């Protein structure tokens, strides 16, 4: 896959579909590499006449790492009830996404984000309205402090330290347990495929220091409700009814603060992108992309 310079970073990306087709930019969540957007979903969107771009965020996968910025002590900050010190913000990551569009010569795109990527997508729609045809925010939040927290099991999956033994097999088993803690109960992943995906990600770009910096950026992002109220792009908020990490109330809050947003809840979906829902996701994204501009 190619790399390109965007916002003074090297960004690893991949494109699907004809260059002349309308573009969909997929933004992944915390510590998740571009491969977490299933190739089946990318191809399904191409079948619906779009060009699809997926990429590694900064500090993830094969994109630039910001190790000179140090590693924030997220656990210590949470124990004291204060936002962690973050070397960059979600707005900086939104600027990365827009700079990637610039580097690829794409004037405007349909912006789709999952989890933390949904928060980044919201910021793009608000701060760069001229670059955003439509917004799809998947299993994300407004980050309002009064919204319900993750379940204890999901919080442990997010925040638990890495295993003391850090050989490859131990780390893969740890990643598998974390993923299964937030996986969709009604749409289970193929165990072999999930293990192979985690193994590929480990070998491609295991980088826990980058995850800590991204998490600090997300936890320190603050309440986006005032920003959400400024969004004018056609917007779909997509959320699993069974999400233990970012509860569905968080999705409802996003939709409530974006004028005209459409809220869609999927029963049996938790905090992942099950292959069984590929056509559901593709139809939903294409549907909002075809909405008339407001």
Give the model confidence (pLDDT) of 121-133 as tens digits: 999 999 999 999 9
pLDDT tens by residue, 157-174:
988 899 988 899 999 999
Domain contains 176 = no
pLDDT tens by residue, 170-199:
999 999 999 999 999 999 989 899 999 999
Annotate 130-147 with three-state secondary structure. Answer: HHEEEEEEECCCCCCCCC
What share of the chain in percent tops pLDDT 90? Answer: 90
Distance CA 235, CA 229 (A): 12
Domain contains 131 = yes
Domain contains 141 = yes
> What distances in angstroms separate CA 268 from CA 35, 37, 223, 257, one per listed residue?
23, 19, 28, 25
Domain count, the chain: 1
Instruction: State the pLDDT confidence band at 294, using cuts at 50, 70 and 90.
Output: low
pLDDT score of 81 more than 90:
no
Residues 6+ apart with CB under 8 A from 167: none
Instruction: State the pLDDT confidence band at 85, using cuts at 50, 70 and 90.
Output: confident
Residues 6+ apart with CB under 8 A from 256: none
Residue 263 neighbours by CB distance under 10 Å: 16
Distance CA 263, CA 246 (A): 15
Domain contains 157 = no
Looking at residue 30, which CATH number applies to its domain? 3.40.50.1820
Segment 93-98 shows an average pLDDT of: 98
- The string of DSSP letters for 162-219 reads PPSS-SHHHHHHHHHHHHHHTS-TTSPPPHHHHHHHHHHHHHHH--HHHHHHHHHHHH
Domain contains 274 = yes
Domain contains 177 = no
The pair of three-digit structure tokens given for residue 1, joined into one six-digit string? 């896959």
Strand order in the sheet with 132-138: 3-6, 9-16, 51-55, 23-27, 109-114, 132-138, 235-240, 262-266
pLDDT score of 275 more than 60:
yes
The distance between the two most distant Cα atoms of the chain, rounded to a whole number of Å, is: 54
- The string of DSSP letters for 149-165 reads ---HHHHHHHHPPPPSS
Domain contains 178 = no
Domain contains 194 = no
Segment 211-237 shows an average pLDDT of: 96
Structural domain including 110 reads 3-151+208-289
């Amino acid at each position: 896959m190619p790399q390109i310079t965007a916002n003074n970073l090297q960004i690893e990306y991949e494109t699907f579909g004809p260059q002349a087709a309308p573009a969909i930019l997929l933004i992944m969540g915390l510590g998740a590499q571009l491969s977490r957007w299933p190739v089946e979903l990318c191809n399904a969107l191409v079948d619906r006449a779009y060009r699809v771009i997926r990429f590694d965020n900064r500090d993830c996968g094969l994109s630039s790492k910001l190790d000179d910025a140090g590693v924030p002590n997220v656990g210590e900050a949470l124990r004291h009830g204060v936002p962690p010190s973050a070397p960059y913000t979600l707005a900086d990551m939104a600027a990365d996404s827009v700079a990637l569009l610039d580097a690829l010569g794409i004037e405007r795109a349909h912006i789709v984000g999952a989890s933390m990527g949904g928060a980044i997508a919201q910021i793009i729609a608000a701060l760069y309205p001229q670059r955003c045809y439509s917004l799809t925010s998947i299993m994300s939040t407004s980050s309002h402090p009064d919204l319900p927290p993750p379940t204890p099991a999901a919080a442990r999956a997010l925040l638990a330290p890495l295993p003391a033994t850090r050989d490859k097999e131990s780390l893969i088993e740890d990643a598998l347990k974390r993923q299964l803690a937030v996986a969709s109960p009604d749409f289970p992943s193929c165990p072999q495929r999930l293990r192979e995906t985690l193994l590929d990600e480990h070998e491609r770009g295991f980088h826990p220091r980058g995850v800590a910096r991204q998490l600090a950026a997300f936890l320190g992002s603050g309440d986006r409700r005032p920003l959400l109220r400024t969004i004018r792009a056609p917007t779909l908020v997509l959320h699993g009814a069974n999400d233990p990490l970012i509860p569905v109330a968080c999705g409802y809050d996003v939709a409530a603060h974006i004028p005209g947003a459409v809220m869609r809840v999927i029963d049996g979906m938790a905090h992942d992108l099950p292959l069984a829902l590929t056509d559901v996701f593709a139809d939903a994204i294409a549907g909002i992309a075809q909405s008339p501009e407001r």
